């Protein structure tokens, strides 16, 4: 009997340890912000959501758990499907600050569901569904990325800026230097597309990035298109 209890206790310890390992399968988050003018100014173009044209400000792409070696967990709980009713009090903010620009025009639910299914479910040790979306919205507002850029003389007016100007303005205004990702407009010009900021594993504060994502080089002449 004692041996059987000992075996059960060992199995319990292993199960708890395994659960902890799975729950801690990331080291930090990327908060990824997207400039709508650059999303739309491509050969693919864009469609405004059913709620109308978003404000000319950085919208959220996602809050993504990531590991220090550059890899990341994904689709961690297929049973935890996105349920809009759980974020009913956040939907107006999500429409404004986490809009979808994909075609055809839609209400954003599919986009938010994808972000929750692929990324949010991998941070279940920190967030439930409501907490995940609320945290991303709060972090985005804390940064004030567009205000930082404009205060530093980098304006979304179709002008061109250097990488140092962009990173410097954001660093001076937010205290953190982002990874800057570019895409190409219809003429092939490099344009400011996405900003990656790093967030602590607890999901509540910004940190210096331990590793940077891999993306297309921007060059040193970067357009900041109007929207």
Where in the sequence numbering do the catalytic residues fall?
Answer: 61, 115, 119
The helix (H) or strand (E) run that includes residue 132 is: helix 129-143
Residue 190: name the closest of 34, 37, 38, 36 by CA: 38
The span from the CA of 49 to the CA of 211, in Å, is: 33
Q: What are the φ/ψ torsions at residue 194 (nearest 5 degrees)?
A: -135, 150
Whether the link from the prior residue into 104 is cis, omega within 30° of 0, is yes
Q: What are the φ/ψ torsions at residue 190 (nearest 5 degrees)?
A: -75, 135
According to DSSP, the β-strands at 190-200 and 206-207 are antiparallel
């Amino acid at each position: 009997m004692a041996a059987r209890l000992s075996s059960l206790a060992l199995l319990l310890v292993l199960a708890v340890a395994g659960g902890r390992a799975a729950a801690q399968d990331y080291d930090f988050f990327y908060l990824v912000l997207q400039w709508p003018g650059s999303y739309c100014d491509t050969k693919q173009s864009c469609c405004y959501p059913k709620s109308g044209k978003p404000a000319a400000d950085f919208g959220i792409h996602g809050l993504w758990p990531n590991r220090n070696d550059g890899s990341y967990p994904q689709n961690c709980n297929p049973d935890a499907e996105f349920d809009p009713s759980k974020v009913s009090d956040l939907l107006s903010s999500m429409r404004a600050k986490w809009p979808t620009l994909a075609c055809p025009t839609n209400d954003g639910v599919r986009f938010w569901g994808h972000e929750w299914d692929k990324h949010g479910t991998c941070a279940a040790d920190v967030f439930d569904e409501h907490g995940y979306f609320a945290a991303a919205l709060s972090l985005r507002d804390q940064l004030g990325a567009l205000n930082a850029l404009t205060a530093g003389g980098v304006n979304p007016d179709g002008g061109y800026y250097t990488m140092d100007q962009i990173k410097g303005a954001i660093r001076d205004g937010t205290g953190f230097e982002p990874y800057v990702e570019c895409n190409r407009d219809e003429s092939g010009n490099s344009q400011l597309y996405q900003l990656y900021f790093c967030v602590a594993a607890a999901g509540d504060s910004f940190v210096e990035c331990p590793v940077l994502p891999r993306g297309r080089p921007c060059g040193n002449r970067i357009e900041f298109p109007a929207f």
